[in-house]
Every structure is written in C-alpha cells, then in structure tokens.
Amino acid sequence: MTTPHRIMQRNPLRSCTGLLVVAVLAGMLLLFLIERHPGLLAALLLPIAAVMGLVGTWRQRRREGRLRATRSTEVARYHAMDPREFEHAVAYLCARDGCRDVRVVGGAGDLGADVTAVAPDGRRIVIQCKRYGSTKVGSPDVQRFGGTCYSVHRAALAAVVTTSVFTRPAAQYAAAHGIACVDQAALAGWASRTGPPPWMR
C-alpha cells in the first residue's frame, strides 16, 4: 500500500518576504547604477514622466467624454418636454438645490416670470424659461424680461433658462443688466450637478 503524497501549502508570509527581498535588492541595484551613472536617473525619469502624462491625458479625456454624454442626455430630455413641463422641471431643480417657496407662475399675463423662488442665501429669484429648439434666444426676448424682472417682480437675481443658446446681443444685454443667461450647456451642467445653479453663476 502506497503512502499518499503530502500536499505542500504555500506559506503567504514566506512569499511576501521573498518579494520584499527582491524589491530591496532591485532598489539597491538601481541606486548603485544611478551612483555610477548619474545620467541614468534622467534617462529613467523622462519616459516615466511621459507615460504618466499620457495616462493623465487619457483619464481627463475619458472624464470629459462621460461628462459630454451625460449633458447631452440631459439636454435631450428637456427638449422632449413641452414649455409647461419645462417650467416645472426648472422649478424642480430650484427646489432640489435648496431654494424655498418655489412657484411656477408662468402663463397668460405672467409678464415674463415663469418660476419664482427664494435662493438658499435669501435672494428672490425670478426665472424666465425658454424651451426652444433650434431657435436662439434673441435680444428682444431678454429685453422684454429685463423690463419686468426687477421693476415688476422685484427680483434680486434674474435668469433666463433655455434649452437653446443666446445670440451675442442677447448675452451682451443680459450682462449689462445683471441677468444670468443659462443656455443648454449650463442647464445640463446644473441638472447633472456638474455645473452651478443660476444663483451661483
């Protein structure tokens, strides 16, 4: 009758010790070579730095790609809404991000105000919502809102939020009169929490 062979189990501690010894010897060898050949350090650091730079660039592009995909999805979601749904969606974002007394007031005779709220810092916000497709928000749109947002609605902060973009004259008028312009990219950032809300712009 033959005796069964004994199964040898690897000792984890012995394996770790062996790796540590190898690492120490490799480090000592590297230091010895650098001491004998000073230029070797630069020769080693340059490719390492290049590789780290490439990895960093790849990670940054990957993050930017994910961000663009997320924002594109958000913009498409808002484009699928009708104007009234869009007003409620903007009101939801205000409430989500800490605003109080959020109200959807858009409708006939709203004089440009679609959403009103009180920002977390206590300022009164008045928002006009423009659920546009390919049409840009022009200067006349912003001017009409500018004529009522402060004098009629007593806004401390006024903003126009759109699923489109602003013409240059519209953006210039808004900047001159303290009106925040939230275009489709800024809206997507706000909705996905990758950009600031209007009262922090």
Residue closest to 128 by CA, chosen among 169, 87, 84, 68: 87
> What pLDDT sits at residue 4?
44
Q: Do the beta carbons of residue 120 and residue 95 sit within 8 Å?
A: no
Helix (H) or strand (E) holding 111: none
The listed CATH number (3.40.718.10, 3.40.1350.10, 3.40.50.2000, 3.40.640.10) that belongs to domain 82-200? 3.40.1350.10
30: number of Cβ within 10 Å: 13
Question: Beta 100-104 vs 115-118: how paired, if at all?
Answer: antiparallel
CB proximity list for 177: less than 8 A, separation 6 or greater: 146
At residue 55, the 3 state secondary structure works out as helix
Which stretch of 8-17, 73-82, 121-130 has the lowest confidence by average pLDDT? 8-17
Q: What confidence tens digit (pLDDT) does each residue in 60-114 have?
A: 666 655 555 555 677 788 999 999 999 999 999 999 999 999 999 977 767 889 9
Give the residue with greater pLDDT, 86 vs 11: 86
Rounded to two decimals, the pTM is: 0.66
Q: What residue spans define the domains of the chain?
A: 24-77, 82-200
Instruction: Please choose, from the candidates 190, 89, 109, 80, the residue with its C-alpha nearest in 3D space to the C-alpha of residue 181.
Output: 190
Of 130, 133, 98, 137, which is closest to residue 115 (Cα–Cα)? 130
